[in-house]
Amino acid sequence: MENGKILQYLERAGFHTPAGSYAPHIRRYLQWYRGYVSDFHDYAMRVGTTRRTLTRYRLGMAKTVCEDYATLLLNERVVIGAEGFDALPGILARNAFLERGNRLVEWTMALGTGALVEFLDEFGRPTIDYIRGDGVFPLGWEGDHITECAFGGRRAAGRDGQAGYYVQLHLRDGGGYVIRNAYLNVEGEELPPPDGVEAVTRPSPVPLFQILRPNAVNAVEPDSPMGMSVFGMALDQLKAADLVFDSYVNEFVLGKKRVLVPQSLASIEMQKDGTMQPVFDPSDVLIYVYQQSQDGAEDIKPLDMTLRAAEHEAGLQRMLDLLSKKCGLGTGRYRFDGTVARTATEVISEQSDLYQSLRRNEKPLERAIGGMVNALSWLSGGPAEVQTTVSFDDSIIEDANATVERNLRLVSGGLRSRRRAIMEVTRCSEAEAERMLREIAAEAGGGGAPL
């Protein structure tokens, strides 16, 4: 995202943000996320007297790592409940929260920072916006906690025909927040806001934004409130994986079976300069013509090179293990031979890197979701603070059968209520569990056998 005009606008308005100095890091993360970094993947090689620029084959593991984090942290099995906020499921469904939130978590893991922003749309409905890291501009912070922030990006030509940028500033105002909306043209000059958009909104008692970051110290800029990519300290491992993979593919390219043909057996054609040259199909990668010695036998020689596939596969597996370990997913997460078939019980150990990494990253995500629910409740005309529960998907850590058996034992032993057991087994809200208990009691009272 081109944010130079937005940074200039914020500077003119008297705000200083670390997003400008951090932008080169985000651009680097974005290149690796896309899978192509020109100053690494492009390289020069001399073949005879010709210098050629080649491009390495790439695995694209940076995006794969971020996709895995997003899938494990925020998927369709995550259940969000809020006491007394009955409209929440409908609001989340209308905003496609699980789908778009999943993509935001992926972007957050890639660029180091992301944000949820809540507002009322033109119809007065609570709406969620999903902002990736290159559209986040911290304006005030305490430690790594961002207290004031601007969000911006490119704006396509709307009904007014003006293309440019939008900037939304969330600023403290006494005990709450006000929001300033600004619109810029392509030169960075401020425009009047579009029809229906207020320049300054009414004060909000709660922040209408939540910052997402990987739960790790930013080792690139420790004093910055911006987050570091989940692969920010694993760039060497990403390079190593691509280097080995490029060598692996080239092993097959260079190791294809070929036939060496003596020049005397090749067709000869007179060139314009009077020289004689062998004629063969230049697109034929099977036949190579060679100059034979005078006493050599005129024969056709097959050339069959031995492939080092096993050595490359072992080396690539080692690189993938190092990368996975460095990114917090533990070793063995990725198998190059394509035979990965891991069950949940294989990673159930609370000492595993994957378990600890997921638990570490669930905490800030849970707080961000709680802040989002508070904002949606206030925008809906309800209280500015509601009791929110987030049940994450634990199927990667413990399989469904083990969960059922554990809850049965706890309930039988009087160590857990049936309501809590139903909530964990069926991944439902507290109200839904109460409804199930009433149905069970009604069936039992009517003599019917429980289903």
Nearest to 127 by CA among 208, 226, 246, 70: 208
CA separation for the pair 9, 22 (Å, rounded) = 17
Distances (CA, A) of 196 to 94, 118, 130, 200, 290: 22, 17, 21, 12, 77
Please name every residue paired with 149 in a beta bridge, in sequence order, or none if there are none.
Answer: 138, 170
Residue ranges per structural domain of the chain:
256-304
Output helix, strand, coil percentages for the chain, rounded to the nearest 5: 40, 20, 40
Task: Tokens for 74, please give them.
Answer: 């925020």
CB 130 within 8 A of CB 249: no
Specify the pairing of strand 258-262 against strand 287-290. parallel
> What confidence tens digit (pLDDT) does each residue in 218-269 have?
999 999 999 999 999 999 999 999 999 999 988 877 766 666 666 555 555 5
Spatial CB neighbours of 64, under 8 Å, sequence gap ≥ 6: 334
* Sequence-separated (6 or more) residues with CB below 8 Å from residue 157: 163
Per-position pLDDT tens, the chain of length 451 = 468 899 999 999 999 999 999 999 999 999 999 999 999 999 988 766 678 898 999 999 999 999 999 999 999 989 999 999 999 999 999 999 999 999 999 999 999 999 999 999 889 999 999 999 999 999 999 988 999 999 998 887 655 567 889 999 999 998 899 999 999 988 888 888 877 778 888 889 999 999 999 999 999 999 999 999 999 999 999 999 999 999 998 887 776 666 666 655 555 555 666 665 555 554 454 555 555 665 555 555 655 567 788 888 899 999 999 999 999 998 888 887 654 444 444 444 555 788 889 999 999 999 999 999 999 999 999 999 999 999 898 776 665 677 788 889 999 999 899 988 888 888 777 888 888 999 898 887 754 444 3
Listing DSSP states for 270-327 in one string gives E-TTS-EEEE--TT-SSEEEEPPPTTS----EEE-PPP-HHHHHHHHHHHHHHHHHHT
User: How high is the pLDDT of residue 442?
Assistant: 87
Cα separation, 92 vs 98, whole angstroms:
8
Backbone angles phi, psi at 48, to 5 degrees: 65, -120
pLDDT of residue 287: 52
Overall size of the chain counted in residues? 451
Partners of 138 in the beta sheet? 149
Q: Write out pLDDT tens, residues 308-345.
A: 888 888 999 999 999 999 999 988 888 876 544 444 44
Report d(CA 168, CA 148) in Å as an integer: 11
Cα–Cα–Cα angle for 141, 142, 146, rounded to 5 degrees:
35
Neighbours of 198 (CB within 10 A): 10
